[in-house]
Chain A
Amino acid sequence: MYLMKTILEAEGLSKMYGEKTALDALNLKLSTGEIFSLLGPNGAGKSTTINLFLGFIQPSAGAARINGIDASKDPVGIKQHLAYIPEQVMLYQNLSGRENLALLSALAGYEYSQAELDQFLVNAGLQSDAIHKRVGSYSKGMRQKVGIAAAVAKNAKVLLLDEPTSGLDPKASNEFSELLLRLSQAGTTIFMATHDIFRAREVSQRIGIMKAGSLIDQIEAGNLNAGELEQLYLDYMKS
């Protein structure tokens, strides 16, 4: 069992674009091994939250911390502790899955043997005959698997996922959920922005609902079934 240590924290985190509030005073704490899903329509502030944790944008107020490191103060250092998987895992088309993973791992400071790299990819669900093929021929699901393999190879404490199951077929989506649960059990904290209410409920311990830059509710996923969660979400969106 892992100690329930806070690994990811948003404290009064806000982002303004001129007069427009993209994120309004977000307060959030995630513990080691926890999976947290953030539901909300487009423009609700989900991706902004992820970008703030990644240090890609500067907050207007507040702080985004991972393992105690403030993203705005040490945007390079914070990335030692996190891995990021966007909606479309973009990799280098001219490189194979193995070469992409080798590059990403090396950039994170990890040099692996070819056998180790292949093992990461196979563990992430990539078929062994695809490992040496150029990524240009990969499906979205295969690229997601390379992304997951990169996160695991990096020994990331926190995984930031932005719409990871969007566009995946049900089988690939199911495999992806299983992977997340395995990572969580191994102690990885997962913060996932998604539209997929069913997957969110299936894998998460907690679910946040976001609207117009504000986190308007946090729910223990086990307290509601998928239908009830969907209804609650729709009610919030109507109000």
Chain B
Amino acid sequence: MIRNITQKERISSIRDKRFIILGSIILILLLTSAATGIINYRVLAAERKLAQSTATENFNNQPDRHPHRVAHYGSYAFRPKSVLSFLDFGLDSYTGTMVYLEAHQQNSANFSQVQQSGAMIRFGEMTIAFVMQWLIPLLIIFLCFNTFTLEHEEGTLKVLLSQGVSMKAIAKAKLLGYIHVISMIIFPAFFFVFLFVLSMNNFLLDGDLLLRTAVFMLTYLLYFFIFITGSILISAVNKHSRTALVTLLGIWIFSIVLMPKALSNLGSSFYEEPSKAAMDASVHEESKNGIDGHDPLDKRLAQFKQGLLEKYQVDSLSQLPVNVDGLIMALGEESSSQIYQEHFDELVAIYEDQNRLSVWAGFINPYLAIRNISMSMAGTDFFHYVDFLNAAEKYRYALTQHLNNLQATKVAHKDKTTRLSADIYATYPPFYYKGPAFTKALANVAVSIVALAFWTALIYGLIILTMNKKKNLI
């Protein structure tokens, strides 16, 4: 019985020009956005790989220099593009891609796509995620809004019911029918996306990549299920197609356009983050009051020097077996890095508080849940960005301390003329970054996944409950 109605819905939809036109447009958009995403990925990934290798080459091929000069010459950390970033650009276009790594200073990531592109990019990009989060729900709404109301208006519902079918069976059959219909668009697109993913990894099976792709696809299927079921439900509780359509479009505008923006503003109001200038000033101020390698008047610096003299039982700094300048630099770096890291962690915590609003709001709005999951699986969310910044800072600190150690052990006190061979610097390993593992990314969006599952159960429960309540009454 259910199979027959399902089949009828499928045949009717396929013969419906509305579906053919809209479905074709969506499929073309999906494939186009996949293709442009891949081109974008390949260009940017190649650019960053080249930039990173150039930076490493420049670092390795610098002339013989004093270690502290090298520490200020610095290096660069380029954020590699996540392979799946072609699915969802997420924050990638707005976050910096390169960090200049130097002594005493933690620089921000620069050169975001937005900084380098025209103003149009601010209106959003055509990505697979955009098509799936915004446009496919619209297609679903246009397909399903009149699934029950049209039966009401044309009198076919009575004909169906008079055959001895229950409202619940009709609703289930329609649900299955529309799942089949939407699958005709989604599955070919998913198949091509899967091929693209494999091709970008040279057809080698990478567990992390496959798991991310699987979660990406499965959670989108749940998202579409929620919209299909919701649209059928709204159609079932309204008498007129126009009312059902207006209601559904209202829900779409509220949940996809208005609510995310409102929550973002609300988050910024509740949890105000300090400006970059204010944070830098605080770090500077606190560093100044602590031990600063460039501040000979600092009390703690004097204590440190005195401690060294006592430790090595010598009368002057020049008698020390190590270069005190390097040790002071190392100590200053340790102190300023610790202060910076504390401020940075506080800043990240504020951003996370802001984001947490959107994460928990996934229980009110499934769009917010899928948006988080989608960005996370694509490796383009805030969590992945912060992970890169932390990796860059970790590298910067280690490199600086390595150079400070060279200064302490290979250069004499107050000797500013000695140059160490570039070969010594070239032995230091270049910056290499690999993003967080799938399990970490998954754990980071666990709440959003639960929210999506909650919505799936809720909407299915609601439609069954509504149909049971309607019984067979018209």
Contact = CB atoms under 8 A, between A and B. Distances in A.
A84 B159 contact: yes
Interface stretch (A22-30, A106-114, A186-194, A230-238): A106-114
Contacts of B165: 76, 107
B155 A90 contact: yes
Given A79-B161, A95-B12, 16 more contacts: A56-B472, A58-B473, A75-B472, A75-B473, A79-B162, A79-B164, A80-B164, A84-B162, A86-B158, A90-B156, A90-B158, A92-B8, A92-B156, A103-B8, A106-B4, A107-B4
Interface in B422-469: none
A99 B1 contact: no
Contact of A79 (B11, B154, B163): B163
Interface in A75-133: 75-77, 79-80, 82-84, 86, 88-92, 94-95, 99, 102-104, 106-109
B162 A54 contact: yes
A116 to B, nearest CB: 16
Contact of A94 (B11, B164, B474): B11
Given A75-B471, A90-B154, A90-B156, A82 B8 contact: no
B353 to A, nearest CB: 52
A90 B154 CA distance: 6
Q: Which 6 A-B pairs have the closest CB atoms?
A: A79-B164, A90-B155, A84-B162, A75-B472, A107-B163, A106-B4
Contacts of B154: 90
B257 interface: no
Given A56-B472, A90-B154, A91-B156, A154 B163 contact: yes
A104 B8 CA distance: 10
24 contacts: A55-B472, A57-B473, A58-B473, A75-B471, A76-B165, A79-B161, A79-B162, A82-B162, A83-B162, A86-B155, A86-B158, A89-B159, A90-B154, A90-B159, A91-B159, A92-B156, A94-B11, A94-B12, A103-B8, A106-B1, A106-B4, A107-B160, A107-B165, A134-B15
Most buried by A among B15, B158, B163: B163
Given A80-B164, A90-B156, A107 B473 contact: no
A106 B15 CA distance: 21
Contacts of A58: 473
B56 interface: no
Contacts of B471: 75
B219 interface: no
Contacts of A103: 4-5, 7-8
B474 A57 contact: yes
Contacts of B7: 103
A202 B166 CA distance: 36
A109 B155 contact: no
Contacts of B1: 106-107, 109
Contacts of A77: 164
B295 interface: no
B57 interface: no
Contacts of A154: 163
A56 B159 CA distance: 11
A59 to B, nearest CB: 12
Interface in B1-32: 1, 4-5, 7-8, 11-12, 15-16
Most buried by A among B1, B8, B11, B473: B8
Given A83-B162, A90-B159, A95 B11 contact: yes
Interface in A58-72: 58
A76 B472 contact: yes
Contact of A56 (B12, B166, B474): B474
A123 to B, nearest CB: 19
Contact of B15 (A82, A88, A94, A102): A94
Nearest to B15: A94
Nearest to A78: B164
Contacts of B16: 94
B91 to A, nearest CB: 45
A50 to B, nearest CB: 10
A55 B165 CA distance: 12
Given A92-B8, A106-B1, A76 B166 contact: yes
Interface in B130-170: 154-156, 158-166
A95 B166 CA distance: 22
Nearest to B156: A90
B164 A108 contact: yes
A24 B8 CA distance: 40
Most buried by B among A54, A89, A92: A92
B344 to A, nearest CB: 61
Contacts of B163: 79, 104, 107-108, 150, 154
Contacts of B15: 94, 134
Most buried by A among B1, B161, B166, B472: B472
A91 to B, nearest CB: 7
Most buried by A among B15, B161, B164, B474: B164
Interface string B203-237: 00000000000000000000000000000000000
